[in-house]
Amino acid sequence: MAILRGTCMFGQSGGPSSVINSSAAGVFIEALEQDCITEVYGAAHGIRGILNEEFFDISKEDIKELMLLKNTPSSALGSVRYKLKDYKVDDTDYKRLLEVFKKYDVRYFFYNGGNDSMDTCNKISKFMAGSGYDCNVIGVPKTIDNDLFGTDHTPGFASAAKYVATTTMEVKLDAGVYDSPMVTVLEVMGRNAGWLTAATKLACHKGLGPELIYLPETAFSIDKFVADVKNVMDNNAGKCLIAVSEGIKSDKGEYIAELFADNLTKDSFGHSQLGGVGQALANLCKETFGCKTRAIEFSLMQRCGAHLASTVDVEEAFIAGRESVKVACAGGTDKMVVFERTYDANGKYVCKFNAMPLELAANTEKTVPAEWIINDGTQISDEFVAYALPLIQGDCKAPLEDGLPRFAKLKKIFVPKK
């Protein structure tokens, strides 16, 4: 097969992470070095930028700034949540994408995101192939949720896990400071997979973790929760630190957050004051035990806390970007780059990079293994610690300027519309 020559298009999609820009840096640096790639474009707001012919000319950026992307959180090009229809139902968007690809001679397409983004990437890949338009399509994995199938772990997870574990340790020290009963509930992101909530187990490993950890993988019972908390308080001088995934569900599959919301009257502005499941459970504990409570939501901080990124994660995300380009330039297409965990002769963790069919990544969700969830659904086993610890190693953050992070400043020069 002849080597394709043409433009490289890269887009970011879905919720940002601390290291998604590190993958962008990897793609850009590698693409700029590849002879078969004539132009390097970054789509503004993912697929929408392509549909609107809004993309930035990456060759106009300083290499130094591109390298600073490695430690700059969030999606520097802008992200999007745009679901492509099945092209058998409505191929309008696909025809438009093909038109744009042809117009700008896009022969290499890289899309960086989680499950939904891989679904988008997979559909585009299949449509281009079906249209007979030669374009190598590669998915670059990303998600703090760590729920992508077929890869040992996903870029973004480890840094979020490091944020969650470190912050949990600090909060544990703070929440226990008074000599009176206190229930503290930490709410962690994750609708269906509890990987990030499980990361609070790393704080337990250091003696400063939650007594109770609830993942969405296990059905959540409010009555059992109350009994669990009472048991901890009775044996722990009235103190209880709890980590819950935002996505915990009842045995009927209803979100616990929504169960509480049903009990609420709307406020004068017409909104129910749902403060998230953490707040609801903290209120429940206050009512039940009459003690001081506090709900803490790690909110956006857990996915943009780049100042706590792990070096392993930042470097793996960068290499994932580079590898994607290498795979595509070697003729690979319709694939997602995946991580394989290996250990060297000294037992040291070594990450290997492979590629697998996009289709597999697009339609499967990886959850925490049932056997890692122990103590009647209230704790995580040491197997998780062995899994996660190698991934959170090393300190890595943006250089400081005036004591504050110096993030990448891109010029973002639009490619003139044709």
17 within 8 A of 45, measured Cβ to Cβ: no
Residue 187 or 323: which CB sits closer to its own copies? 187
Token match 């609107």: residue?
52
- CA 332, 335, 336, 341 torsion: positive or negative? negative
Residue tagged active-site, from 93, 119, 145, 228: 145
Q: How many CB atoms lie within 10 A of CB 405?
A: 16
| Residue with smaller CB distance to its own copies, 30 or 211 | 211
Estimate the share of the chain in helix, then strand, then coil, as percent rounded to the nearest 5.
Answer: 40, 20, 40
- Beta-carbon contacts of 44 under 8 Å, excluding residues fewer than 6 positions away, are 52, 54, 55, 56, 77, 78, 412, 414
Angle, CA of 277, 283 and 285, to the nearest 5°: 105
Token code pair at residue 337: 């780059």
If you search the block for the tokens 């990303």, which residue do you land on?
Answer: 142
Identity of the residue, 12 or 154, whose beta carbon is nearer to its own copies in the bound complex = 12
Smallest gap from residue 264 Cβ to its own copies (A)? 5
Cα–Cα distance measured from residue 377 to residue 203, given in angstroms and rounded to the nearest whole number: 18
CB of 138 to its own copies, least distance (A): 22
Structure tokens at 220: 């959540």
Q: Where are the alpha helices (DSSP H) in 305-366?
A: 311-329, 358-362
CA–CA separation, 210 and 206 (whole Å):
11
Q: Which is nearer to its own copies, 330 or 400 (CB)?
A: 400
d(CA 365, CA 323): 23
Please say which residue, 132 or 270, places its beta carbon nearer to its own copies: 270
Smallest distance, its own copies to C-beta of residue 185, A: 11
Cα-Cα-Cα-Cα torsion 338, 343, 348, 354, nearest 10 degrees, comes to -20
CB of 268 to its own copies, least distance (A): 4
Rounded Cα gap, residues 305 and 298, in angstroms: 10
First to last CA, the chain: 30
Catalytic residue at 116? no
Complex with its own copies: residue 303 or 335, whichever CB lies closer: 303
Closest-CA residue to 104 (of 316, 404, 418): 418
Q: In the numeric block, which tokens belong to residue 227?
A: 């009994």
Query: Looking at beta carbons only, is 265 or 346 nearer to its own copies?
Result: 265
Work out how close the CB of 394 gets to its own copies at its nearest, in angstroms, rounded to a whole number.
7
Residues annotated catalytic, as ranges: 145
